[in-house]
Amino acid sequence: MGYLDNSSVTVDAILTLKGRELLAQGGNAFNITQFALADDEVDYDLWNPDHPLGTAYYGTIIENMPLVEAIPDETQACRYKLITLPKNQQTIPVITVGNTAITLQAGGDSAIISPNTSNFAGGNSNLGYTVILSDSLVADLQVTRALQNSVLPTTPRFIGDSEDSQSVAAAGFEFNIVAKTQLIEDKTATLTVIGNETGGSVTIQLTVKKATTRTV
């Protein structure tokens, strides 16, 4: 990754790994129908309302920050998407799932995840949500209400390399988490739910209890 010269307007367009995969399939597999904008590289903590030269200079540092080149890994880009909201709206879309944590008592027990977007009518009603289960050894992740699109959206995952090898992700409108039997100890994982259109997210903890044994 490198930096772009921000003294002029530059458009740095590349194909991601997913884009190359679709292009290689031929036919109509590669068909760009939508795009998203994001400001991942902007640090808004640098906004300075105390600048001695006045309001026109509050964002001077931000405006002069270097821009990073486009990267080909679609799972590591566009974490903070920009969205268009109705004029005068004072709230932003918020993803909720109705649970702050889920505990499953035994292997085979399950829980339904039904994400919802508040503060934004129709939010994520087209491309739905992506759920990332950090550890597939803890539970299975199933889609119970699938998207209508033939090509599933790609979503930034932003997890460590060690977790990435055992994580699973799925896109849809409703999901089922099915516990796997844990013979040694209680196991925990995280469930991250991301709005594929609004970009908002929420993370909850999943716990599967150790299996109990009975003696007769």
Residue 182, domain CATH: 2.60.40.10
Please tell me whether residues 157 and 120 are part of one structural domain. Answer: yes
Cβ-contact 123, 117 below 8 angstroms: yes
pLDDT tens, 16-63? 888 888 899 888 888 888 777 888 888 889 999 999 999 999 998 888
Cβ-contact 141, 121 below 8 angstroms: no
Nearest-CA neighbor of 135 among 102, 104, 180, 195? 180
Tally of domains within the chain: 2
Picking from 82, 112, 147, the residue at the C-terminal end of a domain is 82
Please tell me whether residues 111 and 162 are part of one structural domain. Answer: yes
Picking from 24, 59, 82, the residue at the C-terminal end of a domain is 82
pLDDT tens, 175-196? 999 999 999 999 999 999 988 8
- CA-to-CA distance for 22 and 16, rounded, in angstroms? 10
Structural domain of 199: 94-208
Please tell me whether residues 111 and 185 are part of one structural domain. Answer: yes
Say which residues have a Cβ less than 8 Å from residue 37's Cβ, sequence separation at least 6: 78, 81, 82
Assess if residue 129 is contained within a domain.
Answer: yes
Please tell me the predicted confidence (pLDDT) of residue 4.
Answer: 73
Picking from 82, 104, 136, the residue at the C-terminal end of a domain is 82
Q: pTM of this prediction?
A: 0.72
Interval 103-128 mean pLDDT? 90
pLDDT tens, 132-170? 998 999 999 999 999 886 556 665 555 555 555 688 889
